[in-house]
Structure 1
Amino acid sequence: MHLVRPPGVYPPQGDTELLASCVRREPLDDSSRVLDLCTGTGAVALVAARTGARVTAVDLSARAVATAWVNSRLHHRRVRVRRGDLLAPVTGRTYDLVTANPPYVPVRAGAAAAGRGAALAWDAGPDGRLVLDRICREVPGLLAHGGVLLVVQSSLADIRATLCLLRAAGLRTGVAARRRQAFGPVMTARAALFEQRGLIRPGRREEELVVVRGVRER
């Protein structure tokens, strides 16, 4: 899929592809309501929109919002694009599917909790869970009965914590997909930090990506 991506907008990568593959397995149709959080270029939102689903895409970055809007027009897909902090633009609505590719890269203690510019797409506090924890707390209340949450993250940001938080929120949870991949530039630059914290073995330069799937029982 060809997408416009100006500087400062997170490019579709392995985590995007893994999340999109899970979206394709969901039984969506023109009656489905889909919310794509941290949309970036809108790549995952467009995969959902191809099914005819009614899709809303949200991002905190104004540049990402503009990019997702342009890409939806280029691909002739109807996607509502909104700028805001996670669920703020969609208060009071419910969805059959919520997808999220949030920031999940740990930062050095004492650094700003969230980055600026392009770093907004990956900096996620000392444990990498600044946005993941909010998604686990806030999204279950937006799911319709039988609704599904799909969230992609790295093994460096504590997969078990995501599963436990979503179960505590009443969702039936599991890992829908896994993928191992070599570190990209951002992760490589922080490899020494990850080794120091015991998140990776010395010399290791790969991570496991997972998509956690949570279902609100009917």
Structure 2
Amino acid sequence: MLFLKPPGVYAPQDDTSLLTTALHEEPLAPGARVLDLCTGTGALALAAARRGARVTAVDTSRLAVLTCRLNARLAGARVRALRGDLLGAVPDERFDLVLSNPPYVPSPHPQLPRRGRARAWEAGRDGRALLDRICSEVADRLRPGGVVLIVQSAFSGVAPTLDALVRTGLDAQVADRRYVPFGPRLRERAAWLRTQGLVAAGVEKEELVVIRGEAAL
């Protein structure tokens, strides 16, 4: 199947694969409402749509939204793709499942880029610029018994994500882990990561983590 991955849009990688696996382990009733935050090419949105879910995909990038729409059309899937700022793009809506593969790479640059490819990975000094916002807001957007699945790097702090979700009333835990070789972004800033105490000398693998939060019934 033709799947578009234009330059400038975050292409499916190991984190996408890990989150897709977690998605397939979640029971989804026919017509369940699913939200894919930071959709990129729409790979996760399409995986949910193939299971019969009613899917909304959100990204801040116009090109990503267009790519998601085109990939959905090529796959014959129904996905509502919206441009917007995280959960602000779907005010007053609630979902059975929220998926998110947000930017999470710690950066020596404290300010987030306003345009360009780097928006897909840059996440501030601690890598939590978007993670913290998602964790603080997502509980109010889940239906009773709803679930959020977030994939991130361990370099961005697993405990802060778990703690943030628990503070909002969700039951949170690590659902899956995977170690992968450094990608180009981490390789180019490995020295800086070591000065921050995030990477030990000689370490060239990153731990990816899927965190699952569940709302009470």
Using the size of structure 2 for normalisation, the TM-score is 0.97
Alpha carbons 2:39, 2:57 under 8 Å: kept? yes
Alpha carbons 2:72, 2:79 under 8 Å: kept? yes
Segments of structure 1 that go 5 or more residues without pairing to the other structure are none
Aligned to 1:98: 98
Residues 154-165 of structure 1 correspond to what in structure 2 (within 5 A)? 154-165=153-164
Identity of aligned residues (%): 53
Aligned to 2:143: 144
Residues 19-168 of structure 1 correspond to what in structure 2 (within 5 A)? 19-109=19-109, 111-114=110-113, 116-168=115-167
Find the aligned partners of 1:209 and 1:97 in 2 and give their Cα distance.
20
Matched, 1:7 2:7: yes
Q: Which amino acid in the other structure matches residue 121 of structure 1?
A: A
TM-fit CA distance, 1:203: 2.0
Find the aligned partners of 1:122 and 1:52 in 2 and give their Cα distance.
30
Find the aligned partners of 1:78 and 1:66 in 2 and give their Cα distance.
14
Q: Secondary structure at the match of 1:167?
A: helix
Q: Secondary structure at the match of 1:87?
A: helix
1:34-80 CA-to-partner distances (Å, cap 9, x unmatched) read: 00000000000011001111000000000000000000000000000
Q: Which amino acid in the other structure matches residue 31 of structure 2?
A: S
TM-fit CA distance, 1:3: 1.8
Q: Which amino acid in the other structure matches residue 33 of structure 2?
A: R
Alpha carbons 2:2, 2:74 under 8 Å: kept? no
Runs of 4+ displaced beyond 3 Å: none
Q: Secondary structure at the match of 2:86?
A: coil
Aligned to 2:189: 190
RMSD of aligned alpha carbons:
1.1
Find the aligned partners of 1:76 and 1:113 in 2 and give their Cα distance.
35
Alpha carbons 1:114, 1:124 under 8 Å: kept? no
Q: Which amino acid in the other structure matches residue 120 of structure 2?
A: A
Find the aligned partners of 1:115 and 1:90 in 2 and give their Cα distance.
21
1:138-164 CA-to-partner distances (Å, cap 9, x unmatched) read: 111000000000000001000110000
Aligned length: 217
Find the aligned partners of 1:165 and 1:158 in 2 and give their Cα distance.
11
Taking structure 1 as reference, are residues 177 and 108 closer, same or farther at Cα in structure 2, changes over 3 Å only? same
TM-fit CA distance, 1:115: 5.7
Aligned to 2:211: 212
Find the aligned partners of 1:193 and 1:203 in 2 and give their Cα distance.
14
TM-fit CA distance, 1:113: 2.6
TM-fit CA distance, 1:116: 3.0
Aligned to 2:168: 169
Alpha carbons 1:114, 1:125 under 8 Å: kept? no
Using the size of structure 1 for normalisation, the TM-score is 0.97
Q: Which amino acid in the other structure matches residue 82 of structure 2?
A: R
TM-fit CA distance, 1:25: 1.0
Q: Secondary structure at the match of 2:39?
A: coil
